[in-house]
Amino acid sequence: MKIAFIGLGSMGQPMALNLVRAGFSLVVYNRTASRAEKVVEAGASRSNSPQDAVRDVDVAITMLADDDAVEQIVFGAKGDGSGILQALKPGAIHVSMSTISVALSRSLAEAHLSAGRGYLAAPVFGRPDFAAAAKLGVVVAGAEQAVEVCRPLFDAMGQGVAVIGQEPWKANVVKIGGNFLIASLLEALGEAFALVRKYEIRPEQFLTIINSLFRSPVLENYGNLIAAEKYEPAGFKLRLGLKDARLVARAADDSATPMPLASLIHDRFLASFARGKGEIDWAGIAESIAEDAGLASQKR
Q: Is 162 in the site for a copy of itself (CB under 8 A)?
A: yes
Q: How far apart are CA 72 and CA 169, in angstroms?
A: 19
Residues in 233-272 at the binding interface with a copy of itself, rule: CB under 8 A? 246, 248-249, 251-253, 255-264, 266-268, 270-271
Helix (H, G, I), strand (E, B) or coil at 4: strand
Look up residue 187 and give its amino acid: E
Tell me the sheet residues that pair with 137: 125
Q: Is 296 in the site for a copy of itself (CB under 8 A)?
A: no
Which one, 125 or 154, has the nearer CB to a copy of itself?
125
Q: Is 174 in the site for a copy of itself (CB under 8 A)?
A: yes
Task: Choose one: 11-19, 21-29, 55-63, 160-168; the region binding a copy of itself (CB under 8 A).
Answer: 160-168
Q: DSSP secondary structure string, 195-243? A: HHHHTT--HHHHHHHHHHHH--HHHHHHHHHHHTT---S-SSBHHHHHH
Q: DSSP secondary structure string, 60-127? A: EEE--SSHHHHHHHHH-TTSSS-SHHHHSPTT-EEEE-S---HHHHHHHHHHHHHHT-EEEE--EES-
Catalytic residue list: 175
User: Which is nearest to 124 in space by CA: 97, 92, 144?
Assistant: 97
Q: Is 166 in the site for a copy of itself (CB under 8 A)?
A: no
Number of residues that bind a copy of itself (CB under 8 A): 75
Q: Is 287 in the site for a copy of itself (CB under 8 A)?
A: no
For residue 189, the minimal CB distance to a copy of itself (Å) is 7
For residue 183, the minimal CB distance to a copy of itself (Å) is 9
> Would you mind telling me the total number of residues written for the chain in this entry?
300
User: Binding string to a copy of itself for residues 209 to 238, with x set by CB under 8 A, is what?
Assistant: xx-xxxxxxxx-------------------
Look up residue 209 and give its amino acid: I
Q: Is 102 in the site for a copy of itself (CB under 8 A)?
A: yes
User: Which is nearest to 90 in space by CA: 69, 114, 70, 66?
Assistant: 114
Q: Is 122 in the site for a copy of itself (CB under 8 A)?
A: no
Q: Is 81 in the site for a copy of itself (CB under 8 A)?
A: no
Tell me the sheet residues that pair with 28: 5, 46
Task: Choose one: 27-35, 80-88, 157-165, 227-235; the region binding a copy of itself (CB under 8 A).
Answer: 157-165
Q: Is 292 in the site for a copy of itself (CB under 8 A)?
A: yes
Which one, 187 or 229, has the nearer CB to a copy of itself?
187
Containing 27, the helix (H) or strand (E) segment is: strand 25-29
Which one, 205 or 298, has the nearer CB to a copy of itself?
205
